[in-house]
Amino acid sequence: MFYKQLKKFPKNFLWGASTSAFQVEGGWDADGKGPSVQDALGARHDDITDFKVASDHYHRYQEDVRLFAEMGLKSYRFSVAWSRVIPDGQGGVNEKGIEFYNNLIDELLRYNIEPILTLYHFDLPQALEERGGWNNRETIDAFVEYSRLVFERFGDRVKYFLTINEQNVMVLHGNALGAQSTKKESYQQAHHMFLAQALSMKLCHELLDDAKIGPAPNIISVYPETCSPEDVIAADNWMAIRCWLYLDMAYHGEYNSLVWAYLCDRGLEPEFQEGDAEILKGAKPDFISINYYATMTVSASRNDGTDVTHREGDQQIMYGEEGVYRAAVNPHLGKTQYSWLIDPVGFRTTLRAVWDKYRLPIMISENGLGQGDELVDGQVDDQYRIDYLTMHIEQMQLALTDGVEIFAYCPWAAMDLVSTHQGYGKRYGFIYIDRDEFDLKELKRIPKKSYFWYKEFINSNS
């Protein structure tokens, strides 16, 4: 299908950019911050960049926000480090931590940049982890208490909240993020997170009249390798397990029936306590946020013990699962330097599918290209990133023309930051931070070519 004319992005479209606390802030123990699971993970590996200093945004947020403003950002998506504001995860509040986010929010608003606040982005307070983390139902109460604090202290100025970043990635690939859980435990943890999310969304609506809140899983399209009906079913299975479960829970407050059947069949179904079903149904999101990087392609499981494979460097972390799916190669897609697939058309497909299923406005909270950018004569020529983002924005505009309601685009990342598991050399930002993996240098901020491109783009589209 083609259009003679494409729909224009609305004037108030929230062109933005994203970061997360543990990847950008540094100041890991500054002013009373408690450790998070990410700090504990860093301490276990001295061969990878740790998050102690990261991009030192904690100490340089004013300079950073000024640069965001000069880039013309209309929104900025960041996360609050739970253990910065409640060092033990539950109980005492660290006013210094609150002050940091108050200052950051005020600074953003001074430049008319809409703050978009993620409550929880991979950095559970270590104190809670030591008490069982998400296996322990007390973590649900702790999350609700923490949400209340965030809504009460920042809700007078923040209008958009995201609950949990990429819950599906934490559940499916928790090991890559430092968790060591069995599959059974992972689904019990997921159940507790669903409850925490529902309670937090409900509380947000009770406390704040104007605020909007939504989930932020990593949502993609899963293609069948061929038109064999078995491959199609495999793609459908994996799409339900990997993606729809998380949005269905946020929206319907009910387990996707296919996924529930799969969980029961394997003895992975979580334990429900009395009242859980009501809690899950007791809240609805106002919008859906998705992180999109690339699609996946799968074929039918051979069920012969060979489905599970590990493809080094592959973003899809395509392990496969006996009886469910098998990783397949998509010969139609290119890859980034880090072997992540590039599929802008899949972005449009994904946006259409999410809109069709839920009919809620969509925010894109992540999308971007990680590359080992180089600083040459004081400049970074990241034309590849401009090309990547341009292709995705074109497809987003097509989706908009298809009728999908989209209101925000916040590519990853506003500035260079530490990758979740591939160090500082893998850069995503519009702003280069001059540091190496281990040599912090002066952490100078240097706008890349993509910074000037995005500035021009936002300027002519708003």
Residue by residue, what is the 3-state secondary structure of 394-410?
A: HHHHHHHHHCCCEEEEC
The answer to whether the bond into 413 is cis (omega within 30° of 0) is yes
Catalytic entry in 129, 166, 269, 321:
166
The first and second tokens of residue 69, run together, are: 């403003």
Q: For residues 2-41, which are near ligand BGP according to CB under 6 A?
A: 20, 23
Q: Cβ(151)–Cβ(207) under 8 Å? A: yes
- The residue range among 43-51, 64-72, 144-152, 416-424 that interacts with ligand BGP, by the rule CB under 6 A, is 416-424
Q: Does 167 bind ligand BGP (CB under 6 A)?
A: no
Q: For residues 221-240, which are near ligand BGP according to CB under 6 A?
A: none
Q: Does 166 bind ligand BGP (CB under 6 A)?
A: yes
Q: Which is nearer to ligand BGP, 23 or 299 (CB)?
A: 23
The yes-or-no answer on residue 138 being catalytic is no
Query: Using CB under 6 A, which of 24, 81, 140, 169 touches ligand BGP?
Result: 169
- Residues binding ligand BGP: what is the number (CB under 6 A)? 15
Query: Using CB under 6 A, which of 329, 421, 437, 438 touches ligand BGP?
Result: 421
Least separation, in Å, of the C-beta of 418 and ligand BGP?
8
Binding mask 205-224 for ligand BGP (x = CB under 6 A): -------------x------
Q: Does 419 bind ligand BGP (CB under 6 A)?
A: yes
As a whole number of angstroms, the distance between CA 21 and CA 72 comes to 22
**Measuring CA to CA, which residue among 35, 84, 90, 41 is closest to residue 61?**
84
For the chain, give the number of residues. Answer: 462
**Measuring CA to CA, which residue among 114, 31, 115 is closest to residue 78?**
115
The first and second tokens of residue 166, run together, are: 């990429």
Q: For residues 255-284, which are near ligand BGP according to CB under 6 A?
A: none
Q: Which is nearer to ligand BGP, 280 or 408 (CB)?
A: 408
Query: Using CB under 6 A, which of 68, 355, 412, 430 touches ligand BGP?
Result: 412
DSSP letter at 244? I
Containing 389, the helix (H) or strand (E) segment is helix 383-402
Q: Strand ranges (DSSP E) for 203-327?
A: 212-216, 222-224, 288-291, 296-299, 326-327
DSSP letter at 150? H
Q: Which is nearer to ligand BGP, 154 or 412 (CB)?
A: 412
Q: Does 45 bind ligand BGP (CB under 6 A)?
A: no
Q: Does 426 bind ligand BGP (CB under 6 A)?
A: yes
Residue bearing tokens 């179904």 = 269
The yes-or-no answer on residue 274 being catalytic is no
Least separation, in Å, of the C-beta of 21 and ligand BGP?
10
Does the CA dihedral 150-185-41-127 come out positive or negative?
positive
Cα 137–143–147 angle (5° rounding)? 155
Query: Using CB under 6 A, which of 291, 295, 297, 367 touches ligand BGP?
Result: 291
The first and second tokens of residue 400, run together, are: 């908009």
Q: Which is nearer to ligand BGP, 212 or 427 (CB)?
A: 427
Q: Does 370 bind ligand BGP (CB under 6 A)?
A: yes
Least separation, in Å, of the C-beta of 141 and ligand BGP?
25
**Measuring CA to CA, which residue among 106, 104, 86 is closest to residue 94?**
86
Give me the residues that bind ligand BGP (CB under 6 A), please.
Answer: 20, 23, 165-166, 169, 218, 291, 366, 370, 412, 419-422, 426
Provide the annotated active-site residues: 166, 366
